[in-house]
Amino acid sequence: MAEITSGKYAKAICECCGERKNGTFFYPNYGSQYKDRLKARYCKDCCAKKIEEYSQFLNEKASLWMVLSELGIPFINQVYETMMAQRFSPKGGQKPEIVGHYIKRLMENTTIYSGFWDTDVGINEIIDKDIKEDNKNTRDIKLMEELWGKYPDDEYVEAYEFLENMFQAYTQDFPEMDANLTNRYRDLCKAEYRKRKADEKGDVSEIKQAQANLTDLLKLLKLNDFQSNQKSEMEKMIERKIWMIENTRPAECEDLDIYKDVSGFEKTWGEILRCVKNLVAGSREYPEIPREER
């Protein structure tokens, strides 16, 4: 291992590239035993190149693990998690280089480690977890594509999040939904998203078409009466249930007219109108006598 005596501009040879550089080109090695002198393995440039090389087939966490193993510095998972939280802090500023930032956080830790053998997580654990998360993300994206259709790569995260939230907002009060109603509400959510994107772009023609599409779907689902917000939750639930019944034909139903008269309104008013007609016009229309009473 190359050594450099104390002092900002003391020289050392990088064991990776073989170049002789002053101390500012090296990270301080971990450990209180190195107060008087800096032990150097790889310079900062070589550490960055190593991270880049490993990142071609490993994630960033595993890449850092590999570089630290070459430097003889322990990989402590808690230190890594703390470092990542600080590294992507909302306070802003330039994102620190990962090796140097990790070493800084490790040196601030109260626990003293003696070397890389104190590492508390294996490379296989990191890789296996990464594979599982990638598989889960892939499955989630495929599911979203099946439900909502495919959106551009630079837009699908925003689109699927908006569509899922909108669908939840529209249907949260439904006790149950059949396939027909579910698909119509998904169409409504896609129309909402189309209108939103048209508004963002400021395309007047697209805004007009998107609004027309949205209006048609709202009318179809009987959501265009904005005064309905004054109704109780029970009233809205009953209306939705009636819509589902009236627009879903059961296999055993032969007479849709009878089936659609869920509340018996048509039959009741039909009897009243028949009596009024007989009274005013002098007609003689009477209800049909049931067969069992003939």
Task: Please give the model's pTM, rounded to 2 decimal places.
Answer: 0.43
Measured in degrees and rounded to the nearest 5, phi and psi for residue 140 equal -65, -45
Task: Look at residue 273 in the predicted model and tell me its pLDDT.
Answer: 81
- 40 CB neighbour count, 10 Å cutoff: 24
Residue 38 has what pLDDT?
Answer: 40
Gap between the Cα atoms of 78 and 23, Å rounded: 29
Q: What per-residue confidence (pLDDT) applies to 28? A: 74
What residues have CB less than 8 Å from 113, skipping those under 6 apart? 30, 31, 74, 76, 106
Q: What per-residue confidence (pLDDT) applies to 226?
A: 59
The pLDDT value given to residue 253: 56
Task: Show the DSSP H helices in the chain as ranges.
Answer: 44-54, 60-71, 77-87, 98-108, 123-148, 156-171, 179-201, 204-220, 233-246, 256-260, 265-281
| pLDDT value for 46 | 92
Beta bridge mates, 20:
13
Phi-psi region of 222 (alpha: psi -120 to 50; beta: other; left: phi over 0): left
**pLDDT tens, the chain, 294 aa long:** 444 455 555 677 888 898 888 878 888 765 544 444 445 578 889 999 999 898 888 888 888 998 988 888 889 988 888 888 776 544 444 455 788 888 888 888 778 777 788 888 888 887 776 666 655 555 577 778 788 888 887 787 888 888 888 888 888 777 677 888 888 888 999 999 999 999 988 888 899 998 999 889 888 888 876 554 556 666 767 777 777 776 666 655 555 555 555 556 667 777 788 888 888 888 888 777 666 665
The three-class DSSP label of residue 59 is coil
CB 26 within 8 A of CB 36: no
